[in-house]
Structure 1
Amino acid sequence: MSAPRISVLLPIYKVEDYIEHCLDSLLSQSFTDFEIIAVDDSSPDRSGEIAARLLAQQDRIPWKLIRNTDNKGLAETRKIAASEARGGWARMRSSVGTSTCSCLPASARSSPTAW
């Protein structure tokens, strides 16, 4: 499998009310040359379970879910996600974001020579 253009780095912690909308937004795009690297930062709610279920229900977008055994904080969680990324570009995504993310096609077009 070839490396995707973009790796979407998705830290997960206490976002049970938002993670489904966030992933639905990412997974419903027509642009598919990306992967999702989600890191459950030992969230005390069901955020990680919800993410695992939604990601496993689809096979269009490659994904990886990492589960921290203890809470490491946002900066370390992003580093963990970045270390697993295979894409030519990395894009941070907030799991709390409530807007529809259509930013990936624009990201891919912004610097075509860098791919």
Structure 2
Amino acid sequence: MARIVLLQLATALIVAVLAGLVSDTSAAYSALAGGVCCAVPNAFFALRLYVGTKRVDGASPVTFFIGEFVKIAMTLALMGAVVIWYPGVNWAAFVIAFILVLKSYFILLFKQRP
């Protein structure tokens, strides 16, 4: 799970740099915000699942569903914070970065393990 979270954070940074090179700093900040809105809740979700597996009775489906609900709520809260605190957001860069970070785990599906 840590590899997926690190890959998502790296993807957010790469997309932000590319958006800054293609457009302006507003696009770079917007892309970074979009990537963070996706990667940070996923990191907390992965941490919650990891901690749940270390309990004596193990992880339960309830732990998963509560964690997923918290992840969705955190994603919406972060998006709301971006809308409130960054009025000059470049929505194209924000949404593209969010989608790319969200789907970046596909890269790990094709990586061969020794």
Q: Which band: TM-score by shorter chain?
A: 0.3 to 0.5
Greater fraction helix:
2
Greater fraction strand:
1
> Which of structures 1 and 2 has the bigger CA Rg?
2
